[in-house]
Structure 1
Amino acid sequence: MVQLSVLDLSPIADGSTAAESLRQSGDLAAHVEALGFRRFWMAEHHSMPGIASAATAVALAYVGTRTRTIRIGAGGIMLPNHAPLTIAEQFGTLESLFPGRVDLGLGRAPGTDQAAAYALRRNFQADENQFPRDVVELIDYFRGGSGRRVRAIPGEGLSIPVWILGSSLYGAQLAAMLGLPYAFASHFAPGQMMDAIRVYREQFQPSEQLEKPYVMLGFNVFAADSDEEAQLLATSVQQAFVNLRTGNPTQLPPPSAGFPDRLPMEARLILEQVLSCSAIGEPKTVRNGVHAFAERTGADELMITSQIFDPAARLRSYSLLAEAMEPVSA
């Protein structure tokens, strides 16, 4: 059975605050840990009014204090925004605080717009090989060794699994070349998913960290007591995505019955495509959707995300998923 994990963007619901969202992320992490999910990851996004996990390592430190056994990690850290040494130190600190529980997923997108990228003070004019060099430099800080002038303390000598994240063939090729596990953002950018999985598996070269390919795929789940209720819950992320695509990112809106039906046909088709990797419905519907997706892709693990307006409904969605898929991890 495919393993299940959780990706939480710490969504800021309309009328709420980042403080409330981060506390709710802690609640969610403790909840899914009790349900048996394998990992709890958070993602780096900047200048987004509806996402509270910008300072990802700090947010994960809080989540670590709310949990005991579940793996915590970044899905991901947008490495072009940072010096590799800084990330090595941050995640070395997390691993020192929560030993044996920390993952580090790395992406090459800035996770923001050009204005915020400029505010981050990083050089985005670097050549296309800068990201691979930064990944190798970061891994090298964890390896450590004598004679180094610059050392990551904490970080050096710690075993922190590094993942490559992506939504294109580029990340698949890099993960294969470096022999790292690969996570694909199919929960919002599924277009090249099957090609990326194929390229990664065909080109994979074993490494110290990993002997054979390991694929994790993002997948949206909205589970409720009825298909109709679940479809209503899903309208929040549908609205948020349309707002983002039209240049007006907002806090996570409340559900709106019939929202997709009010969109122009072109917008409706785009929405259906980008959120096509989803299971929406009562437990049996969700179970069938998850099984079908896992069978079609051969994924080793699914990273479940559920951007639901009501925190209680979000917790229940994960509970219903766990009941439907029991056990949630093999």
Structure 2
Amino acid sequence: MSEKTVIITGSSSGFGMLTAIQCAKKGFRVIATMRNLDKKEVFEAQELDPDVRNRIEFKQLDVTNEASLKTFTDWLEELDRVDVVVNNAGFAIGGFLEQVPLADFRRQFDTNVLGVVAVTQAVLPKMRKQKAGKILNVSSVSGRIGFPALSAYVASKHALEGLTESLRLEMKPFGIDVGLIEPGSFRTNIWSSGMEIPNEVNNPDSPYAPYIKGIWDELNNQKKYHGNPNDVAQMVTKLAMADTLKKLRYPIGSGARLNMLMKQIIPWSLLEKTVLRKLYPAMPEDQEKRLRPVESGD
């Protein structure tokens, strides 16, 4: 293939780093962006072929910082073209809605939603001039399915889903493709070192304390089923290389499609009972009783 340029945000780890490597292997010129350029050292640990390594350029970019965005946008003018943008930068905040300070909710949306908006706005003028381009937004199964104690993260990904659906329709007249990658659970640090837990969430005197332990335990128990993040990187690279994006959404990972299907076909009342019983073993008896099916004669 002739050399094409792909910009990937949040490239210092996980899906971003692996996608940068996969795209470089396929002949892309890769612009790997990250907030802290010191973290580019993770690429050195991958023992890459010199030709692959030489295809990867590193640029500082904090998608929530206006000065950083301005510097990056000005630098974009030097590029002949931008063929693909992978909006991957993101993180997760854990905790029940009442526990998470409003400032943390804003930070969650600043990165996971407004950061996508800022980067997309920066590249669209060049893509419109080219009359071609792809924007791939990395969402999550959490963008389709709610989960307790992750309300800030889930809300941000639901917002990203709606944003991307609208953007796809807006860009069609200009020859620009837009798509969503919807991973299930994978072995990335977003569920470990990448998750932020506000101090309020760890308060043992919190009324949510009995429940949040059960939720964290369940998340930890599911780690053995987490997929290989290289699978996501390969999917993103394949879509970057495709002539067109025929679909808007691309779910991937163990349980992702199944969970979305279950939400569509199972009545909410039954789905809710199943989730609550699994995650809330400490639920008071009077509340748990309300979940039981009504028997004749009751």
TM-score normalised over the length of structure 2: 0.35
TM-score normalised over the length of structure 1: 0.33
Larger relative helix fraction: 2
Report the structure number with the largest CA radius of gyration.
Answer: 2
Q: Relative contact order (alpha carbons < 8 A, sep ≥ 6): 1 or 2 greater?
A: 1
